[in-house]
Structure 1
Amino acid sequence: MLGKIALEEHVTTPANNELWDSSGEAARNGKAYMDEVDRRLLDVDERVELMDRHGIDVTVLSLTSPGIQSITEPETAIATARQTNDYLREEYVDRHPSRLRVFAAVALQDPASAADELERAVTQLGAVGALVNGYTNIGGPDEARYLDAEENFVFWERVAALNVPVYLHPREPLPSQTKIYQGYSSLVGSAWGFGHETSTHAVRLMLSGLFDRLPRLRIILGHLGEGLPFLLPRLQHRLEKQHDGTGLGKAERRVSEYFSENFYVTTSGHFHTKPLLDAVSEIGSDRVMFSVDYPYESMAEAAAWFDSALIAENDRAKIGRHNAERLFGL
C-alpha cells in the first residue's frame, strides 16, 4: 500500500543524548543493535529514503523514551522540552516539510509549563499533539507521578482546548518495581515490561474519571494497544464483580466505553495479523492506525507485513492512512 502514515517513529537530539545513560539498554538489547539504533535516531535524510522505498508518505516523529519524563530537575526538563521541539522543527520538519511531522515533548514535572509548551508547539511549530513517555520522575529516579494525578489536570484541560491527541508511549517500570525481572533483564523493556507498565497506566486513566471530566480527550497507544484489546474484557468483568470493593477509582462508565471512545491504537512493533484482528474487533477499524516504531523496528518488515496482511482492503486503507488523516487533519 502506498501513502501510509506512521505515528510512532523516534528521534533524539545531541543535547538529549548527553542527559541519558543508555548502557543498560545497550546491554539488554545488544551493543551492535543499539549502536545502529542510536545512529538512526539522529538521522534525517535516510529515514525519508526508507519511507519512499516502503510506501510511507508521512511520519510523525517523537523524542525517544524515556524522554523528558526522566529528567528529575524541573527547570532542566522545561528547558530541554523547549529546545527539543525547536530542534525537531528546524532539523527535521523544515528539511522535509511534506513528509515529517512531530509530537511535542512536554515537561510534566511542571504541568502548567507543559500545557504552555504544548500550545506553543502546536500553534507556532506545527506539532500535531504530544507524546508522553509514561510516568514523570518527580524528585528522584524512583519517584513518579502518573498522568491521572490531579496535578496534571491543567495539562489535560489545555490538551482538550487545543483538540489534539496525546500518544502514551512506554518506558521502563520504576527501579523498585523490577524485582520480578531479576535474572531476566531483557524483559524489563520493550519485550515485556513496556506493555505491562503502559497498559496499567492507561487503565489508571480510564478509572480516574478524567474522561468524564474531559470527554473529548483522545489517547493513542502503540503496540496494538499494549495487550488491552485482549485483556480489557476480563478486567471489566472482574471490576463489575468487585463493585463493592475499594480502589475502583472515580469512573462513571465501563472501561470498554472509554477504550472505544477515547483511545486509538497503532500497529507499532506488533506485526501480527491475529492480534490486529482482535484489536479491530474490540475497538473498531476506525481507531487502529499503522505505525512502525522506527528505528527500533524495520520499515521494511512493518510495510511488508501490513501491505499483505489478510484484512479487508477498506480496512487496510483506513488503518494505513485515512484514520490518521482524520485524527490529525493531515
Structure 2
Amino acid sequence: MKGKIILEEAFNLPRLAEEEAKLYASVHGAVLLGKALADIDGRIAAMDEAGVEMQVLSLTSPGCQGVSDPAEAHRMAMESNDYIAEKVRANPTRFASFAAVSMHDPNQAVRELTRAVVELGCVGVMLNDFQSSGPDGNTMLFYDDPKYDIFWAAVEELDILVYLHPRLPTKRIFNELYKDRKWLQASAWGFANQLSIHILGIATSGVFDRFPGVQLAFGHMGEHIPFDLWRLDHKLDRDRFPDMKMAKNKTIRDYFATNMHITTSGHFSTRSLQSAIAELSASRIMFSIDYPYEDGLMEGSTWFDNVPLSQPDLLAIGRENALKLLKLDRAPHNLKPGLSLKQLEVGGLKGAIYPDDATHLRTHTRGA
C-alpha cells in the first residue's frame, strides 16, 4: 500500500545522536543508530521503497524528559523544535513533526508548545513519559497531577494530539526492579510496563472528563492496555476507590472511543492487531514503525501490507486515521484524504509474511 503515514519515528540532534544511542545499542550499533537518528534527508529513498508517504518526526526518548535541570531541558526543547521545523519546511509533503517540551513548569510548557504549533507548524507534541527532576534526577513528574491542568487545557485549545512514548527508568527504579534483570528494562517489557501506569493515571485522574477534547496516542500496540481492558474496567471498583477522579459513569474502554488511540510501532503481530481491532475498532489504530529502532521501513511495511484485513480497515489504519487526526490535509503538508484503494495500490508490497504469533526473534538495535 502506497501513501502510508507513520508517526512514531525518531530523530536526534546531530550533536547528541551517537552518544545518546549508546543507551540502546552496543558500541558498534550505537554508531549506526546515531547516524540513522541524525539523518533525516536520507530517509526519503527508503520511504519510497516502503510505500511511506509521510513520517511524523519526534525527538528521540528521553529527550527533554530525561533532563532534570529545568533550564537545560527547556533549551533542548527550543533547539529541537527549531531544528526539526527547518527540516519539515524543506520537505513538507514527506515530513511533519511533533513538538518537544520540558514538563518541569506547566506554564513554560504551554508557551513553548504554543510557539511550536502556531509559529513552527508542529502537528502535535511528543512526551517521553515522566519528567526527570530533582538534584539526582530520581524525582518523577507525572502529568496526571492537577498542576498540569493548564497544559491539558492548552492542548485542547490548540486541538493537537499528545503522543506518550516510553523512556528508560530512573537510576533508583532501575536498581530496585531491573539491576538483576536488565534485559527487561527497555523495549522487551519495562517500557510498556511503566508507560501504561502513566496513561492509566491520566485517564483515572479525570483529565479526559475535564478536557474532553484532548486526544492521546501511544504506540507498541497500546502498551499492553487494549488486551486488559475487561479486567481494568472490572477491577476499577468505584465503591472501593471512591476518591478516583474519573467520571463515575465512565470506563477505560469509553475513553478509547473518545480520547485515546494506539499505533502499531515496533509490534508487528497480526494476531495482536486483529485483537486490538476487535477491542477498539480500526478507527482508533494507526500504523507506525518506530524507526530507526526497528531495522528499516520494509519489515513493518511488508508485514502491514500483507495483514489479512478488509481494505477499508487497511486504508484507515495505514493512512486515513492519522491524516485526519493530525490534520495533514492542511498547508503546508497538503496530503490528499479519501484516496481510493486503487490510487493507493493496496496490496502493493510483497515479501515474507510472518506466521501468526510464531516466535519471531530478531536482533534489535533498541535493547536493554
Name the TM tier (shorter chain): over 0.9
CA distance in 1 between counterparts of 2:314 and 2:251 reads: 29
- CA drift at 1:174: 2.8
Q: Name the SS of the counterpart of 1:68 in structure 2.
A: helix
> Partner residue of 1:301?
299
Once superposed, which parts of structure 1, at least 4 consecutive aligned residues long, lie more than 6 Å away? none
Question: Residue type matched to 1:158 in 2?
Answer: A
Query: 1:145-294 residue pairs with structure 2 within 5 A?
Result: 145-178=141-174, 179-240=176-237, 243-246=238-241, 249-252=244-247, 253-294=250-291
What is the CA–CA distance in structure 2 between the aligned matches of 1:183 and 1:267, rounded to whole Å?
30
Match of 2:346 in 1: none
Q: Is the 8 A contact 2:133 2:139 kept in 1?
A: yes
Q: Determine if contact 2:22/2:30 at 8 Å carries over to the other structure.
A: no
From 34, 37, 42, the counterpart of 1:41: 37
Percent identity over the alignment?
Answer: 40
Amino acid at match of 2:297: M
Q: In the aligned structure 2, how far is the partner of 1:128 from the partner of 1:224?
A: 21
Shift of 1:21: 5.3
CA RMSD, 1 decimal:
1.6
What CA distance in whole angstroms lies between the structure 2 residues aligned with 1:115 and 1:79? 15
Distance across 1 between alignment mates of 2:35 and 2:242: 45
Kindly provide the CA deviation profile for residues 248-291 of structure 1, in whole angstroms up to 9, marking residues without a partner as x: 62011212111221101001000111111111111111110010
Report the AA paired with residue 223 of structure 1: H
1:239/1:248 contact within 8 Å kept: no
Structure 2, unpaired ranges of 5+? 329-368
Tell me the TM-score normalized by structure 2.
0.84
Q: What's the counterpart of residue 25 of structure 1?
A: 24
The answer to whether the 8 A contact 1:71-1:77 is kept is: yes
Q: Could you say which residue in structure 1 is the equivalent of 2:51?
A: 55
Q: Does the CA contact (< 8 Å) of 1:207 and 1:248 recur in 2?
A: no
Q: Following TM superposition, by how much is the alpha carbon of 1:329 offset from its aligned partner in structure 2, in angstroms?
A: 1.2
Distance 1:152 1:15 in 2: 31
The residue number in structure 1 matching 2:349 is none
Structure having the larger proportion of residues in helix = 1
- The 1-side partners of 2:232 and 2:56 are apart by 32
Q: Which structure would you say has the larger RCO, counting Cα contacts within 8 Å and 6 or more residues apart? A: 2
Alpha-carbon separation, structure 2, partners of 1:329 and 1:151: 29
Q: Which runs of 5+ in 1 are unaligned?
A: none
Alpha-carbon deviations, 1:64-120, whole Å to 9, x = none? Answer: 000101111111111211111001111x21232210000000111111111111111
- The number of equivalent residue pairs is 323
Distance 1:247 1:300 in 2: 49
The DSSP-based 3-state class of the residue aligned with 2:236 is helix
Q: Distance between the aligned counterparts of 2:103 and 2:62, measured in 1?
A: 13
1:10 paired to 2:6: no
- The CA deviation at 1:22 is 5.1
Matched, 1:124 2:123: no
Change (3 A) 1:142 1:22: farther
| Paired position in structure 2 for 1:89 | 85
Q: 2: distance between equivalents of 1:25 and 1:71?
A: 17
For residue 282 of structure 1, give the secondary structure of its aligned residue in structure 2.
helix
Give 1:75's aligned amino acid: A
Q: Secondary structure at the match of 1:58?
A: strand
- Partners in 1 of 2:32 and 2:261 — Cα distance? 30
> Counterpart of 2:6 in structure 1: which amino acid?
A
Amino acid of the structure 2 residue aligned with 1:325? L
